A and B are shown apart, each in its own frame.
Chain A
Amino acid sequence: MAEFKVAPAGASMVDKLTLWTQNRFPTAFDAYRVHMSEYYAPKAQNIWYVFGALAILVLVIQIVTGIFLTMHYKPDAAKAFESVEYIMRDVPWGWLVRYMHSTGASAFFVIVYLHMFRGLLYGSYRKPRELVWIFGVAIFLVLMGEAFMGYLLPWGQMSYWGAQVIINLFAAIPFVGADLALLIRGDYVVGDATLNRFFAFHVIALPLVLLGLVVAHIFALHDVGSNNPDGIEIKDHLDPKTGIPLDGIPFHPYYTVHDILAVSVFLMIFSAIIFFAPEMGGYFLEYNNFIPADPLKTPAHIAPVWYFTPYYSMLRATTDPMVNVFCVIIGVSALMAAWKAKLPSLAKAAVVLAAVVAIALLKTFDAKFWGVVVMGASVMILFVLPWLDHSPVKSIRYRPDWHKAVYGVFVVVFFILGWLGIETVSDTKTLMAQIGTVYYFGFFLLMPWWSQLGTFKPVPERVVFSAH
């Protein structure tokens, strides 16, 4: 325990009170130093670095508006839709709270996607930040669950049938699928039981996990220090006297004022949507969801909300011919490994055997199941990203120019997959989605190979910064 300090004679009331608290709760003061006033972040961080702070803001908005929504919302299949309209009409400022929450959900994903893309650009997931990244991907996963379960609550047609479709995906898992789907629904069809358990998960279970993960994400980040657009370690150049990184500046006040500006600009966009386009052209609030859930009437077209569509596209792309394509890719890669790779012959035999088993499994189970696997893998693959990237530099800035094109195409593919996930299926669109899926997985799985290729630019010793 720290020593009890005594205030000097004539100290002001504020100083006395501060000291009184400090003597009794030093942890709070330490935390302030470690995470704010003496947390040194690289001075060259650019606009891509505001999305972490904005994600925290949106998290707070979601929790606070969520608390007020639960005061009036009724998790009951007979009353849910009505209670949302009650909030929209009869609860004072209910419409504002609800629009903040519904827009916040989409804003959360926009911000998180940009935040993740920043990590991708500047290699923020690489040593020593692997755990920061893993916690982040876990946050993203939980967020997806949170959004999915929250989307059922308004109990509109899209809520209902979207949940029906996604839960039925679990039924495609061999042996345990049917029971698993039943466990999730709590009934043989999506119904009151489903609504109640989704409500429980949405308002307490997942938010608790989410908050825990956010804390872990930030603590781990502050232990290893923030990355920067140059992808170099500022801790390699410390001030010999103070031990502070030469290119580091205290988070508070420099990045807090930065973030206040970002928050203000973000809130302008956020408010513009809330007040002038809360439905956002049917993307944030789907039109069909203004029709109460009707278990007897399947909508002609069911699409998930926009932030899930890239993965949903990859699921739909996994048709029987696509499974054959997977078989060929696995077979050819195994043969290539057996022929070219410098491995002991036993290992080569193991690779070929594994490929044979994989192909046998691919052909044994239904394409629908493999679609679910592909969809799951498309998110899970992010967990291993730190070990897939073998590039000698972290930041895109010092990579060969064609790497930028690879990333650019990846972004375009991701958008196209997202768009395809909203569209109805056609042969051309399925083919597009299949090409997109192959590129998406190729980008990650071949990264150990392509990320080393090309001529890399020299990385500077110190961060590149121009005063502004």
Chain B
Amino acid sequence: MIKRILQSLLISCMLVTGAAHAAGAGIAWDKFPVEKLTSDAALQNGAKLFVNYCLNCHAASYVRYNRMNDIGLSNEQIKANLLFATDKVGETMKISLDPKQAKLWFGVVPPDLSVIARSRSAAGQGSGADYLYTYLRTYYRDDSKATGWNNLAYPNVAMPHVLWELQGERKPTFTRATEHGKDVEVFSGWEVSKAGTLDARAYDNAMADLVAFLQWAGEPAQKTRQQLGAWVLLFLGIFTVIAWRLNAAYWKDIK
């Protein structure tokens, strides 16, 4: 009996190991500091960065402004600091960019960012937050591109480095190495050509805040979900014990 339970558990564990989806091009992802998700200050700073830097070309049209009550902002604070595109705090984060024009300008329509963090996960590579955290920190100057910018996590990206004032301008350095018997160029570090208003640490920190906001916006119910889940499991744990004893009480008559 126990052996069989273990066998079925083993089978279910095999199902859990991540689905290996096609790996995209780009460098290995850095780990997003997940503790940012539990900090309202970080989420609020992320919201500020998002509204100021992203929410002109990108929409987040499923996210309501007043949902930010959940991260500790009052309607008054939202109205005073974060409401640029509308005057109703119950509106969603829509933008007035014409998709046709956007396509002309950038070559692609900037995607809606409501669930961007959820869509960019890849098994074996990391979470969507890991990707975004890496992506936002690996822009570099590349004069061969129309925008003058390129990205290590998303090679040939259409979006220019919107946050360049904060990060400054950088160029990656590569070293030659042998991998699987082939000569390859491996990313080894950064060379700063023009400093930004934030130093490297402060910039990383700001990007972690921004990604935390995007992660939160992807599923605002996430925190509630996990908190409730603990109670549900506690209840079911107790119920399982009762069901087990009830079962035993009936079955003791069966010889």
Interaction A to B: yes
A contact residues vs B (CB 8 Å cutoff): 43, 46-48, 82, 85-86, 88-90, 95-96, 99, 110, 114, 249, 253-254, 257-258, 260-261, 263-265, 267-269, 271-272, 274-276, 278-283, 286-292, 300-301, 303, 306, 415, 422-424, 465, 467-468
CA gap between A417 and B128 in the complex, in Å: 28
Contact between A415 and B21 (Cβ–Cβ < 8 Å)?
Answer: no
Contacts of A280 in B (CB 8 A): 15-16
CA gap between A85 and B93 in the complex, in Å: 14
Partner of B62, one of A82, A110, A258, A264: A82
B contact residues vs A (CB 8 Å cutoff): 1, 4-5, 8, 11-12, 14-22, 24, 61-64, 67, 111-112, 114-116, 118-123, 128, 218-221, 225-226, 228-230, 232-233, 236-237, 239-240, 243-244, 246-248, 250-252, 254-255
Contact between B247 and A290 (Cβ–Cβ < 8 Å)?
Answer: no
Contacts of A465 in B (CB 8 A): 254
Contact between A282 and B232 (Cβ–Cβ < 8 Å)?
Answer: no
27 sampled A-B residue pairs with Cβ under 8 A:
A47-B4, A86-B62, A89-B62, A89-B63, A89-B67, A95-B221, A96-B228, A253-B250, A257-B247, A257-B250, A261-B243, A263-B243, A276-B226, A279-B118, A281-B17, A281-B123, A282-B18, A282-B121, A287-B121, A287-B122, A288-B21, A290-B118, A290-B218, A303-B19, A303-B21, A422-B20, A424-B22
Contacts of A303 in B (CB 8 A): 19, 21
Contact between A254 and B250 (Cβ–Cβ < 8 Å)?
Answer: yes
Contact between B19 and A283 (Cβ–Cβ < 8 Å)?
Answer: yes
Contact between A423 and B247 (Cβ–Cβ < 8 Å)?
Answer: no
> How near does chain B come to A30, taking the closest CB pair, in angstroms?
24
Partner of B232, one of A271, A422, A423, A468: A271
Contact between A290 and B115 (Cβ–Cβ < 8 Å)?
Answer: yes
Contact between A95 and B225 (Cβ–Cβ < 8 Å)?
Answer: yes
Contact between B251 and A279 (Cβ–Cβ < 8 Å)?
Answer: no
Given contacts A86-B62, A257-B247, are A287 and B119 in contact (CB under 8 A)? yes
Contacts of A253 in B (CB 8 A): 250
Contacts of A275 in B (CB 8 A): 225-226, 228-230, 232-233
Contact between A423 and B20 (Cβ–Cβ < 8 Å)?
Answer: yes
CA gap between A465 and B255 in the complex, in Å: 8
CA gap between A306 and B16 in the complex, in Å: 11
Contacts of B251 in A (CB 8 A): 254, 257-258, 467-468
Contacts of B226 in A (CB 8 A): 275-276
Contact between B64 and A282 (Cβ–Cβ < 8 Å)?
Answer: no
Contact between B18 and A48 (Cβ–Cβ < 8 Å)?
Answer: no
Contact between A264 and B240 (Cβ–Cβ < 8 Å)?
Answer: yes
CB-based nearest A residue for B116:
A290
> How near does chain B come to A237, taking the closest CB pair, in angstroms?
16
Contact between A254 and B254 (Cβ–Cβ < 8 Å)?
Answer: yes
CA gap between A258 and B244 in the complex, in Å: 8
Contacts of B62 in A (CB 8 A): 82, 85-86, 88-89
CB-based nearest B residue for A288:
B119
| Nearest 5 pairs of A and B residues by beta carbon | A275-B229, A290-B119, A301-B22, A85-B62, A261-B243
Contact between B246 and A279 (Cβ–Cβ < 8 Å)?
Answer: no
Given contacts A257-B243, A261-B243, A264-B243, are A281 and B114 in contact (CB under 8 A)? no
> How near does chain B come to A395, taking the closest CB pair, in angstroms?
14
Contacts of B67 in A (CB 8 A): 89
Contacts of A90 in B (CB 8 A): 64
Contact between B236 and A281 (Cβ–Cβ < 8 Å)?
Answer: no
Contacts of A96 in B (CB 8 A): 225, 228
CA gap between A184 and B19 in the complex, in Å: 30
Contact between A291 and B236 (Cβ–Cβ < 8 Å)?
Answer: no
Contact between A43 and B254 (Cβ–Cβ < 8 Å)?
Answer: yes
Contacts of A287 in B (CB 8 A): 21, 118-122, 128
CA gap between A4 and B128 in the complex, in Å: 69
Partner of A46, one of B1, B11, B16, B218: B1
Contacts of A43 in B (CB 8 A): 254
> How near does chain A come to B134, taking the closest CB pair, in angstroms?
16
> How near does chain B come to A410, taking the closest CB pair, in angstroms?
14
Contacts of B221 in A (CB 8 A): 88-89, 95
Contacts of A47 in B (CB 8 A): 1, 4-5, 8
Contacts of B115 in A (CB 8 A): 85, 290
> How near does chain A come to B255, taking the closest CB pair, in angstroms?
5
Contacts of B114 in A (CB 8 A): 85
Contact between B247 and A276 (Cβ–Cβ < 8 Å)?
Answer: no
Contacts of B128 in A (CB 8 A): 287
